[in-house]
């Protein structure tokens, strides 16, 4: 009888431990959270996505501070929930109903950096809304991975493209203008256009505006008015931020500006070469274009370092050639890891100073107004 009671007691204790997780090591608990984060680090939305996001955050909140430091998965790390990127409440996801007959849907890749989302993406959205007060401006992101991240960490719900288009249908929108904030006609733009095709018969009028750099063009020498404008706007902003009166003044002081884009294997990658050609055409001998992915090849960090070194500049200012100053700008460009652009420029030993301007193109007023112009052009098609 005593033996039976002992077994019952042991079984009860075992069950209790299992229910409370007390029998799990700190690493086991951290690994479970990592699995939940990896499960939502995906590009496809499902009916379980919202639930999975909440479960991942709840599991993270249940960890001790030491356990949080142990979270490591295929994509999971302590920064997923732990990194402070600003106050999410300052951002407006623009996902309200009661849209009315006319809508401008601003479609961005997106970012999980709260401050950048509010200033860069939000800056463009606000400028468009100000220019077209009779239209309802709404938001959509093309990166579900980012949508999930923001939802899980901050509880902010942002529409993906299909959700935003469905919202427009439900609200009986009759005129829809879509303004992509993407830099070029790349893979993200192509995916957007595929989604739009599915809604052609559901909304009376759908017009899509040009991305920031306009049409791609045939070769590296094919520049256009949009690229010329962007080249002038972003250089002027970088020069002003650095305290110079002009690009020439900066060059005279031995200072070069390097704009770092994302890069792509898509045929639109020639846009980066065109932007470099545009800088040269404008006489900006101290302005260089690079990409994180190193596509085109001559835009890799190694290639750009060689170009700047050969040109004789001793001071380098890095700035993102991206609408949003998010993960790529903060980590790939300005991060402390040895493979960041700042670290690689420093490690080359060729420069006296290497500094970073972590600001997206979306917060530059002249860039915002170029998007406003693109919206007008789309409306008049």
| Averaged confidence pLDDT in the chain | 93
Same domain flag for 334 and 373: no
Same domain flag for 198 and 321: no
Residue 124 lies in a domain: yes
DSSP letter at 248 equals H
Task: Report percent pLDDT > 70 for the chain.
Answer: 94
Model pLDDT for residues 79-109, shown as the tens digit of each residue? 999 999 999 999 999 999 999 999 999 999 9
Q: Per-residue pLDDT for 2 more than 80?
A: no
Regarding pTM above 0.85, the answer is yes
List C-alpha distances in Å: 25 to 21, 226, 339.
Answer: 9, 57, 33
Tell me the residue range of the domain where 155 lies.
88-214+365-379
pLDDT of res. 358: 96
Same domain flag for 375 and 334: no
pLDDT of res. 1: 47
Residue 100 lies in a domain: yes
Same domain flag for 230 and 358: yes
DSSP letter at 264 equals -
Residue 115 lies in a domain: yes
d(CA 20, CA 267): 54
CB of 290 closer than 8 Å to CB of 299? yes
CB of 178 closer than 8 Å to CB of 206? yes
Residue 24 lies in a domain: no
Rounded to 5 degrees, φ, ψ at 362 are -65, -15
Enumerate the β-bridge partners of residue 106: 139, 179
pLDDT of res. 95: 97
The total domain count for the chain is: 2
In terms of Cα–Cα distance, which of 262, 112, 115, 266 is closest to 183? 262
Same domain flag for 357 and 373: no
Model pLDDT for residues 16-53, shown as the tens digit of each residue? 444 444 568 999 999 999 999 999 999 999 999 999 99
Q: C-alpha dihedral over 87, 119, 342, 145, to 10 degrees? A: 70
Give me the CATH number covering residue 321: 3.40.50.1400
Same domain flag for 233 and 309: yes
Same domain flag for 159 and 261: no
Enumerate the β-bridge partners of residue 317: 257, 355
Question: What sign does the dihedral 274-279-285-288 (CA atoms) show?
Answer: negative
Residue 354 lies in a domain: yes
DSSP letter at 182 equals -
Average pLDDT over residues 191-207: 94
Residue 123 lies in a domain: yes
Pure H helices in the chain: 2-20, 26-40, 49-61, 65-68, 79-82, 114-116, 122-131, 144-154, 161-170, 187-197, 225-241, 247-252, 270-281, 301-311, 327, 341-347, 365-379
d(CA 330, CA 292): 12
Q: C-alpha dihedral over 87, 90, 96, 98, to 10 degrees? A: 170
> Tokens for 216?
């791609």
d(CA 359, CA 19): 47
d(CA 348, CA 214): 35
Expressed in angstroms, the distance from the first to the final Cα of the chain is: 88
Same domain flag for 119 and 248: no
The Cβ of residue 33 has, within 10 Å, a number of other Cβ atoms equal to 28
Residue 9 lies in a domain: no
Same domain flag for 172 and 258: no
Residue 372 lies in a domain: yes
Same domain flag for 152 and 178: yes
Same domain flag for 206 and 231: no
Same domain flag for 191 and 235: no
Model pLDDT for residues 304-350, shown as the tens digit of each residue? 999 999 999 999 999 999 999 989 999 999 999 999 999 999 999 99
């Amino acid at each position: 009888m005593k033996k039976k009671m002992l077994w019952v007691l042991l079984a009860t204790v075992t069950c209790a431990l299992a229910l409370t997780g007390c029998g799990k090591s700190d690493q086991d608990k951290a690994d479970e959270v990592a699995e939940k984060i990896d499960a939502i680090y995906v590009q496809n939305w499902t009916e379980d996505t919202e639930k999975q996001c909440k479960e991942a955050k709840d599991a993270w909140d249940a960890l001790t501070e030491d356990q949080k430091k142990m979270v490591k998965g295929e994509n999971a790390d302590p920064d997923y929930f732990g990194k402070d990127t600003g106050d999410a409440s300052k951002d407006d996801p623009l996902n309200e109903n009661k849209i009315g007959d006319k809508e401008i849907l601003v479609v961005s890749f997106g970012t999980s950096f709260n401050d950048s989302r509010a200033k860069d993406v939000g800056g463009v959205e606000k400028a468009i809304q100000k220019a077209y007060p009779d239209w309802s401006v709404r938001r959509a992101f093309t990166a579900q991975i980012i949508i999930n991240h923001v939802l899980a960490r901050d509880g902010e719900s942002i529409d993906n493209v299909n959700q935003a288009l469905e919202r427009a249908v439900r609200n009986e929108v009759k005129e829809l203008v879509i303004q992509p904030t993407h830099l070029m006609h790349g893979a993200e733009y192509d995916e957007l256009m595929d989604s739009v095709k599915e809604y052609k018969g559901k909304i009376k009028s759908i017009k899509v505006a040009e991305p920031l750099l306009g049409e791609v063009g045939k070769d590296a020498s094919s520049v256009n008015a949009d690229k010329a404008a962007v080249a002038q706007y972003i250089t002027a902003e970088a020069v002003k931020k650095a305290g110079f009166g002009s690009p020439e003044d900066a060059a005279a002081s031995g200072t070069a500006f390097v704009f770092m884009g994302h890069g792509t294997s898509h045929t639109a990658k020639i846009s980066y070469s065109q932007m470099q050609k545009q800088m040269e055409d404008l006489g900006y001998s101290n302005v260089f274009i690079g990409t994180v992915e190193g596509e085109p090849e001559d835009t890799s960090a190694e290639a750009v370092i060689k170009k700047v070194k050969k040109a004789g500049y001793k001071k380098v200012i890095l700035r993102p050639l991206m609408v949003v100053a998010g993960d790529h700008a903060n980590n790939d460009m300005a991060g402390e890891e040895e493979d960041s652009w700042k670290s690689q420029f420093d490690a080359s030993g060729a420069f006296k100073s290497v500094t970073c301007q972590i600001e997206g193109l979306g917060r530059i007023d002249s860039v915002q107004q170029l998007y406003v112009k693109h919206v007008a052009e789309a409306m008049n098609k």
